[in-house]
Amino acid sequence: MCTLIIGRDVLGTGSLIVGANRDEAPSRPTEPPARLSDAQQVVGGRDALGGGTWLAVRDAHSVIAVLNRRGVAPAAPELLRSRGLLALEAACAAPGAELDAFSGGALKLTRASLAAHPYAPFSLVCVTPLGGWVLSHDGAQTRPVQPLTPGWHVLTHGDLDDAQEPRTVRLSRKLAEFNPANTGEAETKLLELLSLHGTFGEGAPPTDGEDAAAADRAAVCIHDGRMVTVSTSLFRRSRVGARYIHIEGRPCTTPPRDLSGLLAS
């Protein structure tokens, strides 16, 4: 997954909304959202090749997501463990009823797995209605954990709210003054942002136009290249309950499906 938008407390204290685009090779096999664990209430899509997930919802209240990160190229890629498996294991970390305990358990498991296995660069996100964190590994070292404070946050291939990453800057600008009046307005806005097109997708903007407007040309919904936007997920929890939306395809053209029923399975 390559674009993640997080809103903590933006729909009231203890609320959470997360929107994400998955950018992947279209030929990589994927299983649609379903329950991912017999022991824990974990819902999300599954990577049929690696066996893991890119985004999972735990107990209808929290989200674990993994994103590729720019970093050191692995020396022996065939020895690397799937980052999606790490995300799935973190989502299944027990206990789940107490939010702080779940967040702490997921972080402990992630650190232990990093000590035991080699991984390609990634950022792993755990966010609950009470808080959360981002742990990034650049292929050479694990960076200090970043807390997810109340408000809007954006993560792509760099740091959280990275002022040097064009896609992050474009989305952050559009969210800076956004105070949704209700859940419908928030969901509509995030799906609109995840559908934004541009003149370049991956990497930095063209060197002949690095000005204040360059970030506005960064594509969020990517159509061309080796990795394109193949699906979108949105999870929201507020005082009116929880909702899980999934789009199998590009968010700019494919209608969303409400899969909230999976959260109670």
24 pLDDT above the threshold of 90: yes
State how far the Cα of 214 lies from the Cα of 225, in Å rounded to an integer: 20
State how far the Cα of 194 lies from the Cα of 21, in Å rounded to an integer: 7
pLDDT of residue 207: 53
pLDDT of residue 96: 66
| Mean per-residue pLDDT, 164-176 | 95
CB atoms under 10 Å from CB of 258, counted, come to 11
CA distances 244 to 27, 182, 204, 238, Å, are 25, 16, 32, 12
Q: Please give the angle made by the CA atoms of 243, 18 and 220, to the nearest 5 degrees.
A: 125
Q: What is the pLDDT of residues 213-225, one digit of tens each?
A: 778 899 999 999 9
DSSP 218: B
Beta bridge partners of 236: 17, 243
More confident residue, 137 or 213: 137
State how far the Cα of 141 lies from the Cα of 136, in Å rounded to an integer: 9
Q: Please give the angle made by the CA atoms of 194, 64 and 142, to the nearest 5 degrees.
A: 105
Burial class (CB in 10 A: 0-12, 13-18, 19+), 40: middle
Find, among 108, 215, 149, 140, the residue nearest to 124 by Cα: 108
